Each structure stands twice: as C-alpha cells, then as structure tokens.
Structure 1
Amino acid sequence: MYLLFRKPAGYLRHTLLAAFLALYAAAAYAGGNNTGEAALTDSVPSHWTYDEHFNQSIPTDDNWWHQLGDPLLDSLIARGIENNPNVVIAGKRIVMAKEALNAARAGYYPSLGLQGGWTKARSSGALGNVSMPATTTDYFSLGLNMSWEIDVFGKISAKASQQKALYNATRAEYAATMVTLCANIAKAYVNLRVWQAEWQVAVEHIASQEKIVKITEARHEAGLASMLDVTQARIVYYSTQASMPTLRSSIRTTINSIALLLGVYPRDINDLLEPTSPLPDHRQIVPVGVPAELLRRRPDIVEAEYELASYAAALGIAKRDFLPTLSLNGSIGTGAHSAGDLFSRNSLTYSIEPTLTWTIFDGMSRRANMASARQQMEIGIESYNNTVMTAVEEVDNAITTYAGTLRNLDILDDVVTQSRKSLDLSLDLYKRGLSPFNNVVTAQMNLLEYQNSVVTASGNALTALITLYEALGGGWDAADM
C-alpha cells in the first residue's frame, strides 16, 4: 500500500528560491580575493595568445632550408616530413588532444538516453501482520532520460579551457618535432657532403702522391736519391689510401642515418645520395641584432606557455570544486501492462528534478588538491622562465659559433693557399736536388690536413647556421629584423 502526499502550494518556488540563495552564497565565495586568484593575477600572464606577427610557423610554412640552395636537400626534407614516424606520432597526438577538447566541450550539453524493456515482478503477501495473497505484475516500458549539469560557476568552461591549452601545447610540440626533424635532416645531409668532400680530397691527393712516388723511384733508379726517399713517399701514399675505407664507412652510415630520419630504407635513397655533390652555400647574411620577439615563436616556448595556461585552468577547476553543482535530471516515457497500450493517454510518465549538491566536508581532499594545483602552476612558471633563458642562450651560442666558424674558414683558406705553394716549391727544389725529400713529405701532409680542415670548417659553418635556424624555431624574414 502506497501513501501519496500532496506537495504544498508554492513548493517548487520555495525550492528554486533556496537553490538561488545557495548559489548566490557560493558565487560570493568564489569571487573572494583568495591566494589562488592573487597568484594568477600577479604571476601569470592574463592571456596566452600571441600577436599575429609572432605566431609560430612550422618548417613547411617558412621553408628556411631553401636558403641553402640545394634542391636535393629540399626534396629530402619534404620526404621526411611526409614519412618520419615521430612526425606521424606527433600529428596523431594533435588529433587525440582535439578529441579530448571536444569531450570537455560536450559538458555544455545535456546527456540523453533511451531505454525500453519488459518487467515482471512478484511481491510477497506475507510481509505484513495479516497474510495476503502474493501479487504479480508485468508491464512494458519505454522512456527517454536526460541529465544536464548547468555550468553556473564555469567549472565546465574551466575544463574546456584546460583542454584547449593542452591542445595548443600539443600543436606546439608538433611544430617542435618538425623543426627538429628538418634541422636533423639538414645536419645529416651536411655531414654526408663533408665526408664525400674529404673522400674527394683524398682521391686527388692519392693521384698526386702516386706521381711523387714515381718521381722518387725514378730518381732512385738514376742514383740521384736514396731508397729512404722512396719509402717516405710510399708511406704518405699508403697512409692516404688507408683513410679511404673509414671515409667510405662514414658515408655509408650517414646515408643510413638520413634514411632513418626520412622513414625509408637506405636502398630507397642510395641512388640520390651516392653521387658526390658540393656542400651547400654556407655564407649567409645573419642579422647581428636578432630581436627577442623572434624567440616567442620557438615551439618549446609556445608549448611551455600553453602548458602554464593549462595549469592555471587546473587551479581554477580545483577552486570550483568547493562550489555547489546544479544539475537538471528528467525523464519522459510510457508504461503499460500491454504493449498495445504504451502510447495511450493514461500510460504517459514523466519527472523533472532540479538538484543542487554541495559537498560540506570531504576530509580536506579538495583543499589538498587546490594546493597541489597551485604548486603545479608555480612549477610551470619556473619551467617557462627556464625555457626562455635556455632559448636566449642557444640563440646567442649559435650566432657566436656561426660567426666564429666563418672567421676560421677565411683563415684556413689562406693556409691552404700557402700550403699548396709550399708543396709546389718544395717539390721543385727536390727535383733540382736543392732540398731534402723531408720538406716534400711535410708539405704533402700539411696540404692534406688543411684541405680537410677547410672541408670540416665549411661543414661546421653550415651546421652552426642550421643550429641558428633551429634555435630561432625556423627561418627569419627581413621584416622581422
């Protein structure tokens, strides 16, 4: 037996009024000047977006490597962008972050569910003081349920803001992956051309040294030189030949490294990279005063700033956990003993339940969560500052290194010129019997060493230039200077 109580007139109005007063009190609490708000106001930027002029551009947008003037390098980087597994993984992380943002935004909308079924139940008649026959009921039901959390205090908005910041941080991570990939491909390509240039230098010296060996042999046969001259010439000749397998191995392993960066097998690019090609242009105009604003487009700085934004949003979420939650639950449907009566007038059922829930005590877990979120935000601030300082150091080091390698290269060019003259003069004097062969040996070794030094310095200059591009997060434009 069920007792039905009639709700007094104005019950719904009184309930809504009580809910409004509770929400007003909670809003007053949320608007108070607490330490969390002070930390956000004093330590965290008020916004996390950049001016359009300083937005991060990924390498496929600025194409900084085109300035090296090597079409083959252009094609390699394009292939790497398309195939590199790390880029593919970073792209999928963006998709995941976007879906997480969509899931957070779904909280703005009600949740709807449809249910239907058939129920058969038997109730005991022997539970009361007087035994009665048992009752059996069976009926069909069909209904639609709705649940909706109303975002009165912006908790759902804060969650969406947090996910949006994480989504933007993931995009910055993708840009960082792209910058690193393109720089690594360019550096590996430069290393390959350095090894090939040293191979070419060795080939040229072997041909020259072979001629000198024949000169010493001819002079020895003519009685104009000792066998010592022949053995010294052969030592120089054979030592240069001995360097060829090492150079060949370096060329092979560098091609393998490039293949890995491109996400292909070495056999797929052998025909492209095996032919010797000169080093790209290493002398470019680099602005002496790079403006600090260019650093703001570095992907790691962008990522750190958006991560800080997500920490600030997480702190806001933790604070809103102290506030009540207003939700609206409702259902509408039909129920009838016979399936044919499901849509009759008397079978309609419905309910609507505005609900206000407010946790009064939880063992101080919310306070601990808020303190933890505040510490995480402060860690994010320090991490951001450290990222900026690291960026400044890397750019300054890259500019200094690039300028130093260019000066070193200019000097080495002069050294090579003088070494070549020294070899020509010492060989001429030796042929005329006016100088010992030791001078020829020394001149040969010096010329080989300094020519290799020029090749290495050219590679170092290119690597420093690429590192500068990488340190700035990509290329630059004259308008940025």
Structure 2
Amino acid sequence: MTLTLFIACPFRMPAATLPGDLLNDSLPSQWVYDEHFDQSLPTDDRWWNYFDDPVLDSLIVMGVENNYNVLMAARRIEMARQSLNSARSGYFPTLNLSGGWNKNRTSGMMADDHGHASTIDYFSLGVNMNWEIDVFGKITARAKQQKASFKATRAEYAAVMTSLCGNIAKAYINLRVYQAELAVAGEHIASQEKIVKITEARHEAGLASMLDVSQAKVVYYSTQASVPGLRSAIHRTINGLATLVGVYPEELYPKLDVAAPLPDYNQIVPVGIPAELLRRRPDIVQAEYELAGYAAALGIAKKEFLPTLSISGSIGTSAHRPGSLFKSESLTYSIAPTLSWTIFDGMARKYNAAIARQQMEIGIDNYNLAVMTAVQEVDDAISAYVSTLKNIDVLEEVITHSDKSLELSLDLYKRGLNPFNDVVTAQLNVLENQNSIIVSKGNALAALVNLYEALGGGWDISQLE
C-alpha cells in the first residue's frame, strides 16, 4: 500500500498575532478576516466527494437541507442581519406624523384681576423629527458591533455545517462497519457449520470424541449470538442518521439497509499551508469576529463620555376649522438643535467601560484558545490517520497468516494429526482479526473525516454570501 500525504510533520502554526490597537475605531487590515479568503485547498473542497460514495453525498445533501440545527443557525444569521440593519437605521432621522383636534379652556380666575374663562378649539396636522447627528461616531460604533455579530453568526453557521457533515459521514462509516461485520459473521457461520458437520462425522466414525463436536458448536453458536447485536447496532445507526439528516427512519431504510462496501480509506490529503487553512476553520473565524464585536462594544462604552448632538423639529398647521388648515397663516414650525453632555452619573460609564474591556480580554483569550485547539486537533487527526493506516498494513499480514493457520490446522485435524483445540483457536483468531481490520478501516475513515473537519473543509464564509 502506498500513502501520500501533503503534510509537514510535526504540525506547527505560528503564534496568533493579535492587533495592538483593538481599542481604536478601526481594526488593522492584517487582522480583519478577508471576505473572499485565499485558500490552498481546491475551490470545491467538499471533502465528502473524495469518498466517491453517492449514498453519502445524498445523505449530506439531505442533512444540509433538513437538519434542525442548520435551520436554527440560518435563522440566527437572519436575526443578526436585521440587528445590523436596525443599528444602521440610527444614521437616519425619526419622523412622526401627528394630527388631531384639541379643545382647551383657560380659567379666568388665575390672575389678580378676575376675568372671563376662555375656550379655544382647533385642528392640527404636522410632522415631528428627531435626528441624532453622528458627530462622535456612536452610531458607527454600534453598527460595527452588530456587523461583527452578524459575521460571527455566519461563521457559526459554517461551523454547524462542518460539524453536521462530519457527523453524518462518521455515522455512515459506522453503519458500513457494522454491515461488514455482519457479513463476516455470516461467512464464518457458514464455514463453522461445515466444521461442525466434520466433527460430527468423525465422531460417528469413532475418530473423534464428543468434546470436539461440543467445541465446534460453541464456536458456531457464539458467532450466531453476535448477529442480533450487530443488527440492532445497524438499526440504531440508521435511526441516528435519520435524525441527523432531518427525516424519519422509514425514508432511509430502503437506501441504507442494503449492505455496501466501506468508502476508500487510503486517500491523498491536500493539507496545504497550516496557517492559512486553520484560519478557514469556522470556530476561529467566529472567535475572531466575536472579538471584533467586543472591541466595538468597548469603543461604544468609551464614546458614552462624549456629548450627543441632536436636532429636534416639527412642521405643521393649526386652524380653528379644517378648511383653514392649509392656508399660509396656519403654518407652524420649530427647530431645536441640542447638545447634551452627561457630566456625572455616579461613575456608571466608567464601570461599563471596565466591563467592556474585560469582555474584550475574554474574547482575546477565547481566540487564542481556538487557535491552539485547532493546531492540536489537526495534529491529532494526522497522527491518528497515519497510525491507523500502519495498523491496517500489519493486520492484513495477520489475516493472511490466520487464514493459513486455520487451513493447516483443519487439514491436520482431518488427518488425525492435531487436536481440535488448534482448529477452535484458529477459527476464533480469523474471526477476530477480520473484524479488527474492518474496525481499523472504519477508524481510518473516521480519522480522515476528523482531519477534514479540523482543517475547516467543506464550508467557508465566502460560500455563505
């Protein structure tokens, strides 16, 4: 077997470089995540296509369309998008239309010289406006915070998609492993039944004891006893896959209940440049945007120390009779630019800024932890995949010699040269080793899926535009 990996081991990534001026209004260009990211993997890097398994492809398509976690993540994106639009609406004035009829009576007994009470009634129609001018960047800072939150939800969506595809692939691999073990059990039950008949024939001929027959039947029925457990595992796995893809199990049984071979586990893995590929991981992107949001929140807290400039105004018409409302003499208006500045608030703004600063520090720690975790997961996945492939190579040799051992021991037993214990041991070894290599191939595929997941393959932010 030949294995080719485009990797460099040991796997290392340069230390994360965080911006030195996070407290400023703008983030440095080398830290802001590129919307169209330059990636080393092929443009179509949906890794499940490499397995060349149409059933797996269809399951992932179904999961992407139906899985409830994906649907909820998509709705969170839309919520964040509307929150961003809401923050941007602060750039525009607020207009209110009002109209009505008023009747007021003024007392004539309020002054020193008593007079007559007066009554006035009139109709009014007008527009009121209030507009906060973004002189000091408060509205811009709020919009930046919501934009970072929006991008973080898109990264979260990509993370959900990546995790979903990985879980579907691993569940599908487990299903094929159980089905392969069931097929192996069926083959061994057939061969063990033949050996039972051989021992019975030798016993009837007086060439073997009843102990040989009993030992042969122990092996035969032990193998049969494993079948119900394997069928139950297959049933549970299909049910789990149905939940992952968002359908009821009855829809999947016709497609999955028929056994199929495991996908090819020996693949070329285009790992590429570690630092670039790790930045494609949705969890790192999400942590980065969350950190940008915390930095913007700190900027908002600091801007609360600055004054607020707003303009209030109204224009309308008032008249005693409705027919006079639109005459020029009925026009009314007012305009009132206002500069307000909070001088003292019991240090509340100072404390809020301190809270925002600590939240940003938590975001920095979370970002660094996400990068370190990514490096570890990639390194672990590569190590697991390589070691599993080596294990399969050895097991293939073990199976070759196990088959030979069973053949020789059975031949010697038939000629009366070896005890039946050797046949029993050889039978058990062959069954165990064949199951071991099936499990190892499944482990290799699972490690391969973990590697693709660790590299953030399958989904990136540019695909979610």
| CA positional deviation for 1:219 | 0.4
Distance in structure 1 (CA, Å) of the matches to 2:221 and 2:38: 57
Distance in structure 1 (CA, Å) of the matches to 2:222 and 2:21: 72
Secondary structure of residue in 2 paired with 1:297? coil
Q: 1:420 aligns with which of 385, 389, 403?
A: 403
Does the 8 A contact of 2:124 with 2:316 survive in 1? yes
Between the aligned residues of both structures, percent identity stands at 66
Mapping 1:181-330, distance limit 5 Å: 181-286=164-269, 290-330=273-313
Secondary structure of residue in 2 paired with 1:283? coil
Distance in structure 2 (CA, Å) of the matches to 1:263 and 1:150: 49
Distance in structure 1 (CA, Å) of the matches to 2:293 and 2:139: 14
Distance in structure 2 (CA, Å) of the matches to 1:384 and 1:437: 63
Does the 8 A contact of 1:329 with 1:353 survive in 2? yes
Letter in structure 2 aligned against 1:311: Y
Mapping 1:116-195, distance limit 5 Å: 116-195=99-178
Distance in structure 2 (CA, Å) of the matches to 1:352 and 1:341: 24
| CA positional deviation for 1:434 | 0.5
Secondary structure of residue in 1 paired with 2:422? helix
Unpaired stretches in structure 2, ≥5 consecutive residues:
1-18, 460-465
| CA positional deviation for 1:292 | 2.0
CA distance 1:88–1:56, shift in 2 (3 Å): farther
Q: 1:90 aligns with which of 66, 69, 73?
A: 73
| CA positional deviation for 1:130 | 2.5
2:32 is the alignment partner of 1:66: no
Equivalences, count: 439
Q: Normalized against structure 1, the TM-score is what?
A: 0.88
Structural RMSD (CA): 2.0
| CA positional deviation for 1:38 | 5.8
Does the 8 A contact of 2:162 with 2:458 survive in 1? no
| CA positional deviation for 1:49 | 2.3
Distance in structure 1 (CA, Å) of the matches to 2:40 and 2:240: 28
* Deviations 1:174-215 (CA, angstroms, capped at 9, x unpaired): 000000000000000000000000000000000000000000
Distance in structure 2 (CA, Å) of the matches to 1:354 and 1:53: 46
Secondary structure of residue in 2 paired with 1:392? helix
CA distance 1:354–1:427, shift in 2 (3 Å): same
Distance in structure 2 (CA, Å) of the matches to 1:183 and 1:315: 37
Does the 8 A contact of 1:54 with 1:294 survive in 2? no
Distance in structure 2 (CA, Å) of the matches to 1:451 and 1:70: 23
Secondary structure of residue in 1 paired with 2:73? helix
Structure showing greater relative contact order (alpha-carbon pairs closer than 8 Å, 6 or more residues apart): 2
Secondary structure of residue in 1 paired with 2:23? helix
* Deviations 1:78-137 (CA, angstroms, capped at 9, x unpaired): 010000000000001000000000000001111111000011111211122222221111
Distance in structure 1 (CA, Å) of the matches to 2:352 and 2:178: 57
Letter in structure 2 aligned against 1:48: V
2:34 is the alignment partner of 1:50: yes
Which protein is bigger by CA-based radius of gyration? 1
| CA positional deviation for 1:37 | 9.0
CA distance 1:456–1:324, shift in 2 (3 Å): same
| CA positional deviation for 1:45 | 5.1
Does the 8 A contact of 1:330 with 1:353 survive in 2? yes
Does the 8 A contact of 2:128 with 2:313 survive in 1? yes
Distance in structure 1 (CA, Å) of the matches to 2:37 and 2:109: 82
* Deviations 1:304-343 (CA, angstroms, capped at 9, x unpaired): 0000000110111111100011111111100001011000
* Deviations 1:322-377 (CA, angstroms, capped at 9, x unpaired): 00111111111000010110001110001111110011111100011111111111
| CA positional deviation for 1:232 | 0.1
Q: 1:354 aligns with which of 333, 337, 346?
A: 337
Unpaired stretches in structure 1, ≥5 consecutive residues:
1-35, 477-481
Q: Normalized against structure 2, the TM-score is what?
A: 0.91
Letter in structure 1 aligned against 2:32: W
CA distance 1:342–1:55, shift in 2 (3 Å): farther
Matched residue, 1:331: 314
Distance in structure 2 (CA, Å) of the matches to 1:39 and 1:160: 16
| CA positional deviation for 1:288 | 7.2
Does the 8 A contact of 2:297 with 2:356 survive in 1? yes
Distance in structure 2 (CA, Å) of the matches to 1:60 and 1:84: 25
Distance in structure 2 (CA, Å) of the matches to 1:197 and 1:286: 25
Secondary structure of residue in 1 paired with 2:125? strand
Distance in structure 1 (CA, Å) of the matches to 2:48 and 2:350: 52
2:417 is the alignment partner of 1:431: no
